[in-house]
Structure 1
């Protein structure tokens, strides 16, 4: 690798980087997951306990204290409210965990920055892989709850990977930009944390889109989580198929954002070593 050669910025080179280093990405992801729970008595079991406890807490607060009802195609009842709420929490967690970690991905891996041959662009992929791991465990819990209380999981659940794919691509693109900015602007982690909180309450996590006035709904669709959350609930809880037109639009935007993020990262990575 020639350190003086221009860094590739095409979407094809981005895909090739992932293909060439996927074994390293998996290895680093496993190491990070194990390291996160190393030393704790229950280990990875906490990744199951935490979402379940949050599910119970939110369900009690919103269905018992505030007497909230769901609607939006989902049957009424505390159980259905909990399932709809948990689905939204999982989708939000996929995006939020990656964005919160992104500002320190480069600054916390300085030894990798000093190595010219290390592919720094895979660090956001590793962090995203950790988010996917935790989301997958939560989805297993959700699937078990749906099967236990409803007797069957809708066949449309097979479309879930397809529904989540654009969100993962979009998240990766955003993480690449934020990780790069985190090297030069150390304070960026603070607004990112606030932004994630705004997304939580500005997304249909605690309510369906149909609960809002009609003139607000189109604006809510500008939120990157809205479409994915609504589609995830549709295929998991209602048994509806994917909105293919909306999915194609979202996928196109996600790929564009990912390419822009990769190009920005590649253009700025030469300055990482000087700053660090």
Structure 2
């Protein structure tokens, strides 16, 4: 509990750090915060061309929304993934990039990974506003599901923060972590149903059947990926316009609780040594 009490007492510092990073992120650029929109939009165009037009992949229409627009379906998965990927990359480097501050002034070091997540979250809010407008334009009844989407976003932010506390500590010991993480996240993305529907994995799993003579299938292993459940929950809210299935909600809460618990334990054990290591 001491860990969270220190975080609460440093909430003003956390807010200032987020504002500092947000204001300085696109300083002296011509387009400013519009750059945060260009990356997901460029990804959407590329993936739409390759997977929708070349490979002719077509997900099922939204149930019950009836939406059948591949770029919109794609963005409903890309935005939560982009937030998660950006958060892990930023948190992994959050202690190293603030080494000068850490070695000069004492404050709860756990604030720095949280500030990194908060900064990425500010970009996500802008992206989410654009996606909401797009969904309204194509006839989706999305407004009533925005509160649920924000709750899922808070859950995803907690999950990313838990992993971020772990990665930030690992990275000060092994500086290769931030580079290895980039590769792992690329692999993780393709193991998550973002640019293809999960029905492709389910159909392939049904054809293969049980693995090594057991009842365990490829799909059973696939669903161990926590981001499968997060992305599916976001799509059910935004694209299907319905409350996520219970299995996805329970799994997301379970992974989040585990990530935060392990993250707190790992960070607590190393926090006093951070300044010395840096």
Give the TM-score, by structure 2 length.
0.87
Q: Which consecutive aligned stretches of 4+ in structure 1 deviate over 3 angstroms post-superposition?
A: 72-77
The question of 1:36 aligning with 2:25 is answered yes
Supply the RMSD in Å over aligned alpha carbons. 2.0
Once the two structures are TM-superposed, the CA of residue 194 in structure 1 deviates from its matched residue by 1.0
Could you tell me how far apart the structure 1 residues matched to 2:48 and 2:136 are?
Answer: 19
The gaps in structure 1 that reach 5 residues or longer are 1-11
Contact 1:106 1:179 survives alignment (8 Å): yes
Could you tell me how far apart the structure 2 residues matched to 1:154 and 1:238 are?
Answer: 13
Say which SS state the counterpart of residue 39 (structure 1) adopts: coil
Within 5 Å, which residues of 2 pair with 1:143-162? 143-150=132-139, 152-153=141-142, 155-162=144-151
CA pair 72-149 structure 1, distance change in 2 beyond 3 A: closer
Contact 2:226 2:251 survives alignment (8 Å): no
Could you tell me how far apart the structure 1 residues matched to 2:60 and 2:3 are?
Answer: 42
CA pair 224-151 structure 1, distance change in 2 beyond 3 A: closer
Could you tell me how far apart the structure 2 residues matched to 1:257 and 1:47 are?
Answer: 27
Once the two structures are TM-superposed, the CA of residue 216 in structure 1 deviates from its matched residue by 2.5
Once the two structures are TM-superposed, the CA of residue 201 in structure 1 deviates from its matched residue by 0.5
Say which SS state the counterpart of residue 238 (structure 1) adopts: coil
Could you tell me how far apart the structure 2 residues matched to 1:172 and 1:228 are?
Answer: 15
Match of 1:197 in 2: 186
Contact 1:72 1:210 survives alignment (8 Å): no
Say which SS state the counterpart of residue 59 (structure 1) adopts: helix
Could you tell me how far apart the structure 1 residues matched to 2:247 and 2:55 are?
Answer: 36
The question of 1:68 aligning with 2:70 is answered no
Contact 1:101 1:127 survives alignment (8 Å): yes
Match of 1:59 in 2: 48
Once the two structures are TM-superposed, the CA of residue 245 in structure 1 deviates from its matched residue by 5.0
| Residues 79-134 of structure 1: CA deviation (Å, up to 9, x unaligned) | x2111111111111121111112332111111222245211110000100011112
Once the two structures are TM-superposed, the CA of residue 165 in structure 1 deviates from its matched residue by 2.6
Contact 1:163 1:232 survives alignment (8 Å): yes
The question of 1:209 aligning with 2:198 is answered yes
Give the TM-score, by structure 1 length.
0.87
Could you tell me how far apart the structure 2 residues matched to 1:196 and 1:245 are?
Answer: 24
Once the two structures are TM-superposed, the CA of residue 15 in structure 1 deviates from its matched residue by 2.7
Comparing 102-111 and 208-217, the one that deviates more: 208-217
Match of 2:212 in 1: none
Tell me how many residue pairs correspond in the alignment: 263
Match of 1:84 in 2: 73
The gaps in structure 2 that reach 5 residues or longer are 206-216
Once the two structures are TM-superposed, the CA of residue 23 in structure 1 deviates from its matched residue by 1.9
